[in-house]
Amino acid sequence: MAVDLKSLRTVIDTATTRRDNAGAALAFARQQLAQGQAQLKQLADYVDEGQGKWTHRAAQGVTVVLMQHQRQFMDKIQAAIDFQHNVLTQRQAQVDRALQALQAAEIALAKVKKVEQITLAEKALKANKAEQKLNDEMAMSMLAYQRRETHTETRT
């Protein structure tokens, strides 16, 4: 099977670019996931801090209206936390897809590089055989020359 090395190099360059792009997409997806996790932590910390303050303040006595406002506010914070959990689920799915894409791109690149390696090995073997053939022909030619010389010397 004759493979054009120039074309193969182009395929390898394209596969390398795809792999690099997949790696960049994975890094971006992981960054987005980390940012989402940081936002969720901020919300959770805010709830913890608010609960501590509210507990202290409630112990001192509060009105029913203030308590209702606090409950509504905490419900909104909980809705934001729930929303952020959904965002994190989506971002984790993006990371998983990006990782699969990177792995597929790496496999494709490895396959093309293997074809290149086999092609180069075949070319080297062919070149070695051609060189060996030339060496054999030269040796046969020299042997024939020596025999002619030996034969001519024995005649004289």
Rounded to the nearest 10 degrees, the angle between the axes of helix 64-155 and helix 5-60 is: 160
pLDDT tens, residue by residue, 94-132: 999 999 999 999 999 999 999 999 999 999 999 999 999
- Encoding tokens for residue 109? 């690149």
Percent of the chain with pLDDT over 70: 97
Contact, 81 vs 40, CB < 8 A?
Answer: yes
Q: How far apart are CA 78 and CA 72, in angstroms?
A: 10
At CA 67, angle to CA 66 and CA 72, rounded to 5? 95
- pLDDT-derived band at 1, boundaries 50, 70, 90: low
Domains, the chain, with CATH or none: 5-114 (1.10.287.1700)
Q: What was the pLDDT predicted at 2? A: 67
With residue 27 as reference, give the H or E element that holds it.
Answer: helix 5-60
**Residues whose CB is less than 8 angstroms from the CB of residue 31 and which lie 6 or more positions away in sequence, other chains included:** none
30: Cα within 13 Å, side-chain hemisphere: 9
Classify burial at 98, counting beta carbons within 10 Å of its beta carbon; exposed 0-12, middle 13-18, buried 19 or more.
buried
Residues, the chain: 156
* pTM for the model: 0.73
Q: How far apart are CA 127 and CA 2, in angstroms?
A: 14
Contact, 56 vs 19, CB < 8 A?
Answer: no
